[in-house]
Every structure is written in C-alpha cells, then in structure tokens.
Amino acid sequence: MSLIDTITRTMLVKPHAAGYPFIIGSIVATVIFLILWKPLGVLFLFLTLFILYFFRDPIRVVPQQDGLIIAPADGRIISITENQKLPDGLDAEVNEDENFTKISIFLSVLDVHVNRVPVAGEVVKTFYYEGKFLNAELDKASLENERSVALIKTADDKFVGVTQIAGLIARRIITDLSEGDAVQTGHRYGLIRFGSRSDVYIPSATAPLVCVDQRTLGGETVLADLNTSHEKREGEKI
C-alpha cells in the first residue's frame, strides 16, 4: 500500500457524528488564534488534526456468516479469562450456573473508538454503571470503572455480552443500544471518547479464535464462532 493510500484510508475518512462539536470548536479556536497569535493558532491546528483523526469512522468489511462473534472495537487483546459471570445487571437473564469467557480489548488513544455490534440478535438487557476512571488496562477496570453493558440473545438462544468501559482519560460513553433492538453483526452502536476498553462475554463452550496481545479491527476480526467447535488458540510473538 502506498503512502497516499495509507493516509487516505486511516486519516481522510468521515468522522463519527459525536466528534462534530469537538471538531467545529477546535476549527473555530484555530482560526481565532491564528488571527490573534499565530504560534497558538498553529498549536490548535495540530489539535484539530488530532481530533479529526481520533473521531475517524472508517468503513469495515464485516464477515457474513451466522454465529460469528466479531470484535466490537479496534485495539489490543489484553486478557482472555475463562469461567466468568456476566456483569451485574445482565446476570439475571441467564442461568445462574452459566459461565462465560471474557475477552478484553484495550483501546489506546490512537485507535478507532467507534464500537460495533459483536453478534446478530436481540438486545435483551442494557445497564449503565457510574464508576471510576482507572487505567483501562487494569483487571479491576471491568468492575470499578464507568461502563455501559448490553446482553444480546442470538437466534439460537445463545447469549453474548458486550461492555464499553471508560478509561483513565475517557469521560464519555455513547451507546445507541436499547432493550428490544434487533441488531446486526458489525453495525455501529456507540463510541467511547479518548482511550478505553471493551469486554466481550462469549459462552464458555465456545473457544476464542484469538489470543492475548493480538490486534483487533472492530467489525472485522473474528473473536469466536458459536456454530463450530475449535481448540483454544495460543499465540507466539515472532
């Protein structure tokens, strides 16, 4: 891929609607400061470019196959934890003895922060927690940070949970999911501003098709397949 193609595909893309107030405000400030004091105006120009980059919303090619669980976010897989219960607020929807595997994805400030639906089905439960703003890479961030969670029931009556978690810098979670919504795999459903984490809960009987430290692309990377059985995968840094 050429340098021009790289810039076009990663930077010159339409921003998410949630970014428009920040983008417009930054552009106005840039113009004003360029008139009043050029050095500060140049600084705000770079800030504007960063905000445009942060709120970018690239088109993704979503794999089309029933039962696939797709990464809800760009980032790095920081943990895969077995024998987990669903977050409080969602657990009442499933049998109390049902366990899940939690796949945690950390989004740096440079990653795309648009979130996508991990699996097709019906949103049967949503819940929002007011919490702390700890480093999203910490394990306890899943339990203590501000977060929004949703439980999706597939056509085969299987449950998949997805969580948007605020991070050290993030202060705003945007989600468009409501109980009763019919959702499709890979469709946009929200955004977390400025650094965050996303947890996906898959049935314990379903082996993850990814491994720790692997990079994900929201809407494209396959995390698991509900309709086939695989062995748990291991990764090797080469």
Instruction: Print the domain residue range for 27.
Output: 3-54
Is 234 domain-assigned?
no
Q: Regarding beta strands 188-192 and 173-175, do their DSSP bridges make them parallel or antiparallel, or are they unpaired?
A: antiparallel
Is 170 domain-assigned?
yes
pTM: 0.88
Is 63 domain-assigned?
no
Is 233 domain-assigned?
no
- Identify whether residues 219 and 108 lie together within a single domain: yes
- Identify whether residues 84 and 42 lie together within a single domain: no
- Identify whether residues 88 and 182 lie together within a single domain: yes
- Identify whether residues 79 and 154 lie together within a single domain: yes
Is 62 domain-assigned?
no
C-alpha span between 25 and 174 (Å, rounded): 19
- Identify whether residues 95 and 46 lie together within a single domain: no
Is 61 domain-assigned?
no
**What are the angstrom distances between the C-alpha of 78 and each of 50, 114, 153?**
25, 19, 25
The domain spanning residue 87 has which CATH number?
Answer: 2.70.70
- Identify whether residues 37 and 78 lie together within a single domain: no
φ/ψ of residue 141, rounded to 5: -60, -30
C-alpha span between 192 and 174 (Å, rounded): 6
- Identify whether residues 74 and 181 lie together within a single domain: yes
Q: What is the mean pLDDT of residues 206-224?
A: 95
φ/ψ of residue 2, rounded to 5: -75, 165
Contacts of 229 (CB under 8 A, 6+ apart): 207
pLDDT digits (tens, 9 = 90+) for 175-211: 999 999 999 999 999 998 766 889 999 999 999 999 9
Q: Is the pLDDT of residue 99 over 80?
A: yes
Is 44 domain-assigned?
yes
- Identify whether residues 72 and 20 lie together within a single domain: no
Specify whether 198 is catalytic. no
- Identify whether residues 87 and 195 lie together within a single domain: yes
- Identify whether residues 104 and 202 lie together within a single domain: yes
Question: Among 148, 196, 198, 229, which one carries the catalytic annotation?
Answer: 196
Is 235 domain-assigned?
no
Q: Which of the pair, 5 or 186, is modelled with greater confidence?
A: 186
Split into its structural domains, the chain has a count of 2
pLDDT digits (tens, 9 = 90+) for 34-65: 999 999 999 999 999 988 998 999 999 999 99
- Identify whether residues 168 and 142 lie together within a single domain: yes
- Identify whether residues 122 and 18 lie together within a single domain: no
Q: Is the pLDDT of residue 142 over 90?
A: no
Q: Is the pLDDT of residue 104 over 60?
A: yes
Whole-number pLDDT of residue 177: 93
Reported confidence tier of residue 171, pLDDT bands at 50, 70, 90: low
